[in-house]
């Protein structure tokens, strides 16, 4: 495991190469299906209007894009970005009925998109997997229009001792579930380690502010197991 952590980029790539085909099922098993409610909370917090443009980074198989299209009119323009081409392929298959989705294979740190392009930038359970967190946040700010909003759904730090105890013990069995579903426990050992090593809620607020976001805030869900961070691009 230590060898993997020394090369995060290679580890992340290998992890999602191994789990992409069972990614949705594994998310359901890992969160007991609650990740779907968390993503709906993200959309409710976003409250998008008609014809607003969304970029969803670390899009996985397109859950956020799918919810966005259900929330607004089906003609809204969405760009889905993920560094893993196999995950993009899976997303295209899942959402093939929609013609207004653009799919791009690219990392969050270097998005091939013009400045000031989107009303919303979302990233769900992907920020902690970026190789360079500062660069990813800088790119998020760059591609948003003035007045655009950044929204991040990510695992966070639990402050309730009893809940933390239950969650940590449940986390210990997740690699075994991964072994059962995809035949390999190592990707899920990485996922648990990445959650443990990620910044806390207030540290992420500080980083967002550092990279130009204003009116930064966060909302804890499920006792802080995850949180939604929000920030606005007021200045170019």
Over residues 133-188, the pLDDT tens digits come to: 999 999 999 999 999 999 999 999 998 999 999 988 988 888 888 788 777 788 78
**2-232: which CATH architecture?**
3-Layer(aba) Sandwich (3.40)
Per DSSP, what are the bridge partners of residue 154? 227
pLDDT surpasses 60 at 7: no
Residues 126, 103: Cα–Cα separation, whole Å: 16
Residues 178-187: contacts with CB under 8 Å, at least 24 apart: 178/19, 178/26, 181/22, 181/25, 181/26, 181/29, 182/18, 182/19, 182/21, 182/22, 182/26, 184/18, 186/1, 186/4, 186/15, 186/18, 187/14, 187/15, 187/16, 187/18, 187/19
pLDDT at 191: 82
**pLDDT tens track for 208-221:** 999 999 999 999 99
- pLDDT, tens digit (0-9, with 9 covering 90-100), for 57-69: 999 999 999 999 9
Domain ranges of the chain: 2-232
């Amino acid at each position: 495991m230590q060898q993997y952590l020394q090369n995060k980029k290679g580890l992340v790539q290998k992890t999602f190469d191994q789990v992409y085909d069972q990614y949705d099922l594994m998310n359901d098993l890992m969160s007991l299906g609650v990740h779907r409610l968390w993503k709906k909370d993200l959309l409710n917090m976003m409250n998008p209007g008609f014809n607003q443009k969304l970029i969803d980074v670390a899009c996985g198989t397109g859950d956020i894009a799918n919810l966005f299209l259900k929330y607004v009119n089906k003609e809204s323009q969405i760009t889905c970005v993920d560094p893993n081409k196999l995950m993009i392929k899976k997303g295209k298959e899942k959402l093939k009925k929609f013609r207004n989705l653009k799919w791009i294979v690219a990392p969050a740190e270097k998005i091939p998109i013009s400045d000031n392009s989107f009303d919303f930038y979302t990233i769900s359970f992907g920020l902690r997997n970026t190789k360079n967190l500062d660069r990813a946040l800088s790119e998020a700010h760059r591609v948003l229009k003035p007045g655009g909003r950044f929204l991040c759904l990510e695992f966070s730090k639990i402050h309730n001792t009893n809940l933390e105890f239950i969650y940590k013990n449940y986390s210990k069995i997740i690699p075994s579930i991964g072994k059962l579903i995809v035949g390999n426990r190592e990707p899920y050992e990485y996922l648990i380690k990445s959650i443990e090593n990620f910044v806390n809620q207030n540290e992420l607020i500080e980083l967002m502010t550092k990279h130009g976001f204003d009116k930064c805030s966060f909302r804890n869900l499920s006792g802080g197991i995850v949180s939604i961070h929000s920030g606005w691009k007021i200045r170019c």
